[in-house]
Amino acid sequence: MSATPIYLDYNATTPLDERVLEAMLPFFKTHFANAGSAHLFGLSVREAVESAGEQLAGLIGASPDNILHTSGATESVNLALKGIHSAERNHIVTIATEHKAVLDTCVYLEQQGYRITVISAGKDGSVNEEDLLHAVTDETLCVCTMLANNETGVIHPIPRFSDIAHARGALMLCDATQAVGKIPVNVHELGVDLMPLSAHKFYGPKGSGALFISPGIRRKFSAQMHGGGHQKGLRSGTLNVPGIIGIGKAAEIAGTDMAGDSRRIGALRDQLEQELLSIQDTSRNGHPEQRLYNTTNICFPGVNADQLILALQHISVSSGSACTAATTYPSHVLKSMGLSDQDALSSIRFSLGRFTTGPEIEQTIGRLKLLISRFRG
């Protein structure tokens, strides 16, 4: 008889909350009309879509008019970076620990004539504000920094970064994919102009995401998808109604459950981390305090992370971003923080979530201690 799966990879994706599924199901079958249709059936579906937009907007402190529905954060990042342009500004500043969706898009833009500055992170994953101050110039179009890192959980001081960008007349793009639904996020308090996010990071459906676009730049934003003029001409295409209903419901649930999730999940993360750091020669990657309560990234020197992950069998953890997990290269995030290839390849990310239990954490601790002793011995 196989063991019950233990899932500790919530930063890669989350299971769909049953309450979200229940809200979505009618829009697959009985309420299937096109939200762009002018008949009463279509108008009723459009009303549901607008209600879901209000739910999502409420979670991030925005107006529904400033939310663009997308297929997920990767599309949102691409739309944001490719949709802003200026004849006078062709410089983008970003951080070496950003998600590949940002870094690879910047590589593409560099090939189109943009100048890209990539700032290194410190040993704890944080960014030196002086480095950012020196990097941003009067030619900078955009500063692009994530709110919370997907591999280490490190949280960046986005309001201060926004002030630095705006002081030079640049825009602030903040990838909040790992933060929305876990911690309070308010676009006005952050001071951001553009903010991508994904539903499947907070118990919503895959294939549903959004891009917040501030009112000040919406009229300057260039669409990347044409045909039909949907979403005020900014992203044409028939709306993914069940996905939008799902992200709205997931946002509503996150708003009510966030405080309780934070306390319970944070206590379990601390228990796991404390026990793992008690293993000889282990160390934590990332800032000890300025990070998400559900995430810990631990280095086990002398142990190959991929081999350890396979040996864990029914316990699901990660050696880096899910988008690059098929490669055998060391994490670019950990490398940018100064880790050697060997230590980066010996590091594992544990990300807990809403359905993680105490017995699962205890079982994981016991299994890891046994395996690490065996691998090192």
- Tell me, letter by letter, the H, E, C secondary structure of 130-147: HHHHHHCCCCEEEEECCC
Residue after which a domain boundary falls, among 226, 252, 278: 252
342 lies in the same domain as 360: yes
In a domain, 266, yes or no: yes
216 lies in the same domain as 160: yes
In a domain, 139, yes or no: yes
161 lies in the same domain as 51: yes
Q: What are phi and psi of 152, to 5 degrees?
A: -110, -15
Residue after which a domain boundary falls, among 234, 252, 270: 252
| Structure-block tokens of residue 102 | 């940002």
- The confidence score (pLDDT) of residue 229 equals 72
**Domain at 286, CATH number:** 3.90.1150.10
In a domain, 210, yes or no: yes
Q: Which strand ranges, in their side-by-side order, compose the sheet holding 67-70?
A: 67-70, 209-213, 194-198, 171-173, 140-144, 91-95, 115-119
| Structure-block tokens of residue 80 | 């944001």
- State CA 150 to chain mean position distance: 6
Token look-up 């228990």 returns: 271
127 lies in the same domain as 39: yes
51-55: which pairs have CB atoms within 8 A and are 24 or more residues apart?
A: 51/248, 52/244, 52/245, 52/247, 52/248, 52/249, 53/244, 53/248, 54/248, 55/248, 55/249, 55/251, 55/252
184 lies in the same domain as 212: yes
Q: Are 120 and 134 in contact (CB under 8 A)?
A: no
Angle between helices 241-277 and 40-60 (to 10 degrees): 30
In a domain, 1, yes or no: no
- Name the 3-class secondary structure at 266: helix
In a domain, 35, yes or no: yes
**Domain at 163, CATH number:** 3.40.640.10
159 lies in the same domain as 289: no
In the DSSP assignment, the letter for residue 330 is: P
- The confidence score (pLDDT) of residue 126 equals 96
Residue after which a domain boundary falls, among 252, 286, 320: 252
Closest CA to 202 of 182, 175, 174: 182
- The confidence score (pLDDT) of residue 2 equals 65
In a domain, 215, yes or no: yes
Which entry of 106, 174, 299, 323 is annotated as an active-site residue?
A: 323
247 lies in the same domain as 335: no
In the DSSP assignment, the letter for residue 39 is: S
How far is 145 from 97, CA to CA, in rounded Å? 9
23 lies in the same domain as 137: yes
| Structure-block tokens of residue 78 | 């691409």
- The confidence score (pLDDT) of residue 167 equals 98
- The confidence score (pLDDT) of residue 248 equals 98
In a domain, 34, yes or no: yes
Token look-up 């990657």 returns: 285
| Encoded amino acid at 132, one letter | L
155 lies in the same domain as 284: no
Active-site residue 323, yes or no? yes
Q: Which distant-in-sequence residues (6+ apart) come within 8 Å of 94 by Cβ?
A: 102, 103, 106, 116, 117, 118, 119, 143, 144, 145
pTM of structure = 0.94
How far is 352 from 317, CA to CA, in rounded Å? 10
Domain of residue 149 covers 18-252
125 lies in the same domain as 184: yes
Radius of gyration of the chain from its Cα atoms, rounded to whole angstroms: 21
- Pick out the chain residues at pLDDT < 50: 1, 325
How far is 182 from 258, CA to CA, in rounded Å? 6
184 lies in the same domain as 317: no
| Structure-block tokens of residue 33 | 């009309």
CA-CA distances (angstroms) from residue 213 to 32, 188, 334, 347?
28, 12, 31, 36
Closest CA to 136 of 161, 155, 159, 157: 161
CA-CA distances (angstroms) from residue 233 to 45, 225, 228, 229?
20, 9, 8, 4
Closest CA to 210 of 37, 35, 63: 63
Domain count of the chain? 2
34 lies in the same domain as 163: yes
In a domain, 66, yes or no: yes
- The confidence score (pLDDT) of residue 322 equals 53
* Residue 22: CA count within 13 A, CB half-sphere: 4
- The confidence score (pLDDT) of residue 157 equals 98
